[in-house]
Structure 1
Amino acid sequence: MTAVRVGLDVGGTKIEALGLGEDDTILARTRIPTGWGDEAVIAAVHDAIEALAAAGGFAVADVVSIGIGIPGLVDAPGGRVLHAVNLGVDELDLASAVRARIPVPVAIENDVKAAAVGAGSLRGDAHSMAYLNLGTGVAAGVVIGGMLWRGARGTAGEVGHISIDPRGRVCGCGQHGCIETFCGGGAVMKAWGRGGELPLRDVFDLAEKGDPLAVELREGIAFGAAAAVRSLVLSADVETVVLGGGVTALGDRLLDDLRDRLRRDAAESPFLASLRVEERIELLPAGSPAASLGAALVGAALLHGENPHTDHVNIEADTAGADIEPEGAVHG
């Protein structure tokens, strides 16, 4: 019998599912659309597991644990989703709903924290790192000593809501000038207001042609992302900040802007210059399964008698030899 640990990355439009084998290799990956509302989300989770089993050639009965990374406010110890606006979920006991059909250990985790666990495992060096998600919103997961650090109340890494300009745009959290208002994809597209198939790419393209608003927004993205990276380095002293999320589809143009901004800021501060922050950042490769892999590891922790929500999560999987096909960005 094959013992399969399943990880699901539930997003606003899709679920990415991953199956992890007994030898820590990735058996299969698949994607299906996400549902809207409590019942539809539950149904989509079960559909994703069944689709994954079909793709990997194993039975649902072979599944021994399930981990689910999901956006929004999560009561991880209780296995509940408390607020996921992009999924139409207000309060849902998701772990119990999944266990009702598949009676195995089920762990629920915030998607960014799950991605941090996965990114640490994929890098094979999770001693001191942070995963910074630049998606519709901005948040991070911090891994110290190979374990996920949640903080006293589970909000460690919420750098998107650090105000860096009290006179800036109003953030969804109610503050002014939060990091997220500068480099969050949702805030940038709202400020851009011109639509387009790929508005963030348009901002970068038109900035190179001198469009005043595009120049302002592109500089703002680098300003906000630099502040987020510095916050993580200065508060947790992580050695590496791995960048992921939809905004990172801009690739080297984003990375070059960010490094240039960090260098310019450090030029005015010998203290910052000594930290060499610009050397500590890297992009998560396109198509990386960090979020779904991390979810699988969070779920698997329950099998070893660990409580991943109080005792942290040991990052153990060795997927260096896994055949990972590019499937686009993990986060949007």
Structure 2
Amino acid sequence: MNAALAGTRAVGLDIGGTKTHGVVLGEDGEILAQVRESTLPGADGVLATAGRVFEALQDATGAPLTCRVGVGVPGLVDVERGVLRHAVNLGVNGDDLPLRDLLAERLGVAVVLENDVNVAALAARALAGADDVVYVSVGTGLAAGLVIDGRLRRGEHGAAGEIGHVPVDPAGSQCGCGQTGCLETIASGGALAKAWPTTDQPPAAALFAAAAAGDHAAVVVRDRFCWGVASAIRVLGLTIDPERIVLGGGVSEVGEPLREEVVRQLRALGEGSPFLASLGLAERLSIVPRHYPVAAVGAAILGR
């Protein structure tokens, strides 16, 4: 077991806009228990959901959980103050919410709060077995968590890793951030759902299945999407130059076909540039194992 996963027993909560996923890690880093519940909106809903998940984890392990709990949430997090703001997906807007202290009171244990992509990066670092790791989250949006020399890099305003808001297409769609042609308008779950709408299965799974079956329109959409992901990795490679790059997020549930297509696009980007090709970005890329609760595990590592 990777040393970064091992240690004392640990508890992590990944609080998302649709679900809250909780895990208990054993001393060897194995997942002893995990619970998933739908997240109720608003501050009161988030607290109630976290409480239900924590109680269910205690029931599953058969013992009180008294260790500090790590919590990952979307939005801007003031780590020092334990405050959350502008977490639109959670129904938390406007004034700063002292979520760390509210959760500590609700759960009856100490809590440490962090952005969800950042905590996922901690688990990605453990999976990759490296101290310089970029975790690329391709979910509803597109963002990266940065671990440099074994430490999270948040940035002066908590905006480090907001790779999705790098504009790449002046003639592209308007992004939710107010800019035009951002990577997130091409390489995100939200963008993919617009480009390949479906009702019977997740859009990413439907798109990759159709492309594999030879649907020309699906191949075009898939290739543009994977070009966008590869372009994000190229920017991160040229600015951070990490030892390892790990793909995760909801779209990564496609699994190895996603990694293979992104690798193909990375190699295509390097065909006209010996310099870019020499960086070997494709060889540094891995993907989170399917169904692995990377953000919840990362939150547990944070709490530990």
1:230 corresponds in structure 2 to: 234
Contact 2:54 2:107 in 1 (8 A): no
Q: Secondary structure at the match of 1:220?
A: helix
How far, CA to CA, are the matches of 2:178 and 2:213 in structure 1? 34
How far, CA to CA, are the matches of 2:199 and 2:92 in structure 1? 27
Alignment of 1:89-168 (within 5 A): 89-90=92-93, 91-123=96-128, 125-168=129-172
2:287 to 267, 283, 290: 283
How far, CA to CA, are the matches of 1:180 and 1:57 in structure 2? 43
2:11 corresponds in structure 1 to: 6
* 1:174 Cα deviation after fit: 1.3
How far, CA to CA, are the matches of 1:83 and 1:196 in structure 2? 32
Does residue 216 of structure 2 align to residue 177 of structure 1?
A: no
2:37 to 11, 32, 57: 32
Residues 33-83 of structure 1, C-alpha deviation per residue, up to 9 Å, x if partnerless?
A: 211111111011111111001111111xx4220111011222222212212
1:71 corresponds in structure 2 to: 74
Amino acid at match of 1:94: L
Q: Pairwise CA RMSD of aligned residues? A: 1.9
Residues 211-250 of structure 1, C-alpha deviation per residue, up to 9 Å, x if partnerless?
A: 5643332121111100111111111110111001111122
How far, CA to CA, are the matches of 1:191 and 1:268 in structure 2? 28
Contact 1:6 1:63 in 2 (8 A): no
Identity of aligned residues (%): 45
1:46 corresponds in structure 2 to: 51
* 1:169 Cα deviation after fit: 1.4
* 1:203 Cα deviation after fit: 2.3
How far, CA to CA, are the matches of 2:211 and 2:24 in structure 1? 42
Does residue 268 of structure 2 align to residue 264 of structure 1?
A: yes
* 1:103 Cα deviation after fit: 4.3
* 1:138 Cα deviation after fit: 0.6
Contact 1:134 1:185 in 2 (8 A): yes
1:15 corresponds in structure 2 to: 20
1:324 corresponds in structure 2 to: none
Inter-CA distance 25–193: structure 2 relative to 1 (3 Å threshold): closer
How far, CA to CA, are the matches of 2:221 and 2:252 in structure 1? 15
Contact 1:226 1:258 in 2 (8 A): yes
Contact 1:129 1:144 in 2 (8 A): yes
Contact 2:130 2:244 in 1 (8 A): no
For structure 2, the residue ranges without an aligned partner over 5 or more in a row are 1-7
Contact 2:77 2:158 in 1 (8 A): no
1:298 corresponds in structure 2 to: 302
Moved more, 140-149 or 198-207: 198-207
Corresponding pairs, count:
295
Q: Secondary structure at the match of 1:58?
A: coil
* 1:163 Cα deviation after fit: 0.8
* 1:297 Cα deviation after fit: 2.3
1:311 corresponds in structure 2 to: none
Residues 243-302 of structure 1, C-alpha deviation per residue, up to 9 Å, x if partnerless?
A: 0111112222212211111111101001001111111101100122321121122223xx
1:200 corresponds in structure 2 to: 204
1:57 to 54, 62, 65: 62
Contact 2:72 2:119 in 1 (8 A): yes
Contact 2:23 2:34 in 1 (8 A): yes
TM-score (norm 1): 0.83
